[in-house]
Structure 1
Amino acid sequence: MTKRAYNFNAGPSALPYEVLETAQKELLDFQNTGMSIMEMSHRSATFEEVHNGAIERLRKIYSIPENYEVLFLQGGASLQFAMIPMNFLQEGKTASYIQTGSWSEKAVKEAKLFGNIATAASTKENKYRNIPSIQEITWNEDDAYVHLTSNNTIFGTQWKVFPDTGNVPLVADMSSDILSTPVDVSKFGIIYAGAQKNLGPSGVTVVIMRKDLLEKENQNIPTMLKYSTHADNNSLYNTPPTFGIYMLGEVLKWVENKGGLEQVAKNNEEKAALIYNVIDQSNGFYKGHAEKDSRSLMNITFRVTDEELEKKFLAEAKAAGFVGLNGHRSVGGCRASAYNAVPREACQALADFMVKFQQDHQ
């Protein structure tokens, strides 16, 4: 096996080594076609099998009900920030947004361009250290939808239980924790996610949408920005990101081979615990940003007790082969993103490094 970096990048992030090996092997000649998957027509029978296979695997892994569309779009989650209110925030209606970090703030900024926005809950005053309790969340029964961000990459918080919004569609940006744990899709109106954390390489955005919502879609917007355009054409209205969809399908095969979402979730809990335990047992040398009941399994955010020591920690970690441990530029500190494809060995190596660094600098 090629020597690999300890990749804790927040996104684009680690991909399963086995998937990369498969892609390498098939890169020049996919299924004896004499072409790369990147070279063939998206209308070909060969690619159609890849495309539909990825959709069916995602349906199977998440037990997605038949009354939901599975779409492969482009533009990242950031385009979805605008597409959702553009399509579903009708005139005279209000959409409620739960603010738990920078990405939910960006979603609100886009939504305000199209209609009325209410704050269902916010943890900004607590520096986004926690997820609000279900009791703190308020919305109206005639809201267009309620929006949340399931995992907050910058601040390292994650929803453990989702609100039941009844007849109001619950919309979730799951970009950074999709495929990391089982989810009851039927509780949501829309789930969307950029692929570049757990699903595959950057370039594909997955949207899982209840079909009846399409009946409420705004018809006075450009063709490419209507969800029905993509639903009616199996996400093939225009040329899709073919290589990204192929890779997404291979990642889904990898999840199946790992034992499905239940086993993946167990692995993620064990990996995160290795690092959180070091933080908790450091007597304050390392300080986690998130409150314990809101801690993310995907993005472990922390500070080193002294600013100069923190710089030294990051420099020594980089020299030791750890990649991507710097916190987001907006908040600083340290962040270890332990997505599905980050192996347990990398998390154990980081935990060992943190223990030794503390021993050497106390």
Structure 2
Amino acid sequence: MKYTFYTPGPAQLYPSFEQHLQTFVEQQLGSISHRSQQYRALHQHTVEQLRTLLNVPATHAILFLGSASEAWERILLNCVEHESYHLVNGSFSKKFFQYAQALHKFAHKLEKPMGQGFDASEVEVPEYAELIGLAHNETSSGVQMRVSDIHKIKRSNPDKLIAVDMVSSAPYPDLDYSLIDTAFFSVQKAFGLPSGLGVWIVNEKCLQKAERLRKYDNLTIGAHHDLPTLWKNAQNHETPATPNVMGIYLLGKIAEDMNKIGVEAIRKETEQKAKLIYKFIEQHEGFEPFVQESKHRSQTVVVANTKQPSSEIISTLKAKGLVLGSGYGEHKATQVRIANFPATSTEQVEDLIKALGEL
């Protein structure tokens, strides 16, 4: 049986994935040298397509890592000397905070229960915090922070770096990168690709901080993948180590496909599909939205409380070829998570709603 995946990562593969994978194999791109002009052209193409799609200015480098989780570590090592501040309202925003503790940074947090979101007006950043870490979209709980609030936090704290986790939302958020120092995502969610590639968007202020920490404070900012080394290689469309050539190639092709559609059209369709899903779970007696405040509800990962065990719902739908995500952590048995990524069409969302309604 061929399945349609509504899981929040790994997720449904983008419709053109198979075609691009076949081209990659036919052109034997998996065997080319990562120091060749052929690779550099491939790398450059992917960066240029992402710049267009996400509206990333030349002040920011686009770097490739092994995962978004690696980005947490790179950001903390290269951009924080002593103190960081984290908005925590779910498992992944908490992990960013915990990474800071593991790296022996003095980490502050403003924490809310899962399912609740943040407004800029309630965020008071400690005086000595150097970096603000937050999740635009908390994958575990289905809470999305309004982009306007992210921008307000930066405007209120211009001397501090701000790091945005958009792992399960990019390319949906329309971030103003004149106000965003660094952001990151991985490809196995909204870009509809297999896992194994992280993307780190980072500006010159972060680079300068990393260079200062290494040169003047004699701090460890990493070895092979410290920010200055990554940045230097990126200027030549390369990476310090042998990269995930297939992942980078496929990401460039998917980003190119998305650019042909237009990011505004993708955002509009995302919102239309989310509206259909939320309308169903609000009106169906077997479900209710986990995130109570509509202004904080994710447009890309919808989380619903279920009256019957979520495992029963998941297994019933899987028998019909529809695969849902379970709740995260302690909510595994009482929630379902529904990914609303570009790889799933409006028609597929309507098919899911129909199947849920027949339970």
Superposed pair shares fold, TM > 0.5: yes
- Distance in 1 separating the partners of 2:79 and 2:172: 28
Aligned residues: percent identity? 23
Q: How does 1:64-143 map to 2 (within 5 A)?
A: 64-74=56-66, 76-90=67-81, 93-112=82-101, 113-119=103-109, 121-124=110-113, 128-143=114-129
Q: What amino acid is the match of 1:18?
A: S
Cα distance in 1, alignment partners of residues 76 and 3 from structure 2? 40
**Counterpart position of 1:16:** 14
Q: What is the distance in 2 between the residues matched to 1:214 and 1:27? A: 33
Supply the distance in 1 between the matched residues of 2:325 and 2:243 (Cα, whole angstroms). 33
Aligned to 1:360: none
What's the Cα RMSD here? 1.7
> Which of 152, 175, 181 is the aligned partner of 1:183?
175
Q: Which amino acid aligns with 2:197?
A: V
- Which residue type is aligned with residue 90 of structure 2? G
Equivalent residue for 2:276? 274
Q: Label 1:330 to 1:240 Cα distance change in 2 as closer, same or farther (>3 A).
A: farther
Letter in 2 for 1:224: H
Amino acid at match of 1:39: S
Report deviation, 1:223.
Answer: 2.2
Q: CA contact under 8 A between 2:190 and 2:341: conserved in structure 1?
A: yes
Please report how far the alpha carbon of residue 141 of structure 1 lies from its aligned counterpart in structure 2 after TM superposition.
4.7
Secondary structure in structure 2 of the residue aligned to 1:324:
strand
CA contact (8 A) 1:27 1:37 kept: yes
Distance 1:324 1:40, change over 3 A: farther
Asked if 1:44 is matched to 2:36, the reply is yes
Shift of 1:301: 0.9
**Aligned partner letter, 1:101:** G
C-alpha contact 1:326 1:335 (8 A) present in aligned 2: yes
- Residue identity in the other structure for 2:283: Q
Structure 2 distance, partners of 1:325, 1:236, is 34
Matches within 5 A, 1:127-276: 128-160=114-146, 161=148, 162=150, 163-164=153-154, 165-199=157-191, 200-217=193-210, 218-219=213-214, 220-221=219-220, 222-234=222-234, 235-258=238-261, 260-276=262-278
Partner in structure 1 of residue 25 of structure 2: 28
CA positional deviation for 1:231: 0.5
Structure 2 unmatched runs, 5+: none
| Contact 1:97/1:117 (<8 A) preserved | yes
CA distance in 1, matches of 2:331, 2:224: 35
- Deviation >3 Å, runs of 4+: none
Q: Could you tell me whether the CA contact under 8 Å between 1:190 and 1:209 is conserved in 2?
A: yes
Deviation at 1:94, TM superposition (A): 2.0
Residue 4 of structure 1 deviates from its aligned partner by 4.5
Q: What secondary structure is seen at the aligned counterpart in 1 of 2:239?
A: coil
The answer (yes or no) to whether the contact 1:122–1:132 under 8 Å persists in 2 is no
Tell me which residue corresponds to 2:307.
305
TM-score by length of 1: 0.88
The residue that corresponds to 2:49 in the other structure is: 57
In structure 2, C-alpha distance between the alignment counterparts of 1:306 and 1:123, rounded to whole Å = 27
CA shift for structure 1 position 142: 4.1
TM-score of the pair, normalised by structure 2: 0.89
Alignment: residue pair count? 338
Q: Find the partner of 2:340 among 313, 330, 338.
A: 338
**CA shift for structure 1 position 80:** 2.1
C-alpha separation in 1, matches of 2:283 and 2:324: 23
Mapped contact 1:72–1:204 kept (Cα < 8 A): yes
Deviation string, structure 1 residues 261-304 (Cα, Å, up to 9, x no partner): 1111111111111211111112x421111122211111111122
Q: 1:145, 1:27 → 2: CA distance?
A: 39
Whole-angstrom distance in 2 between the partners of 1:311 and 1:115: 39
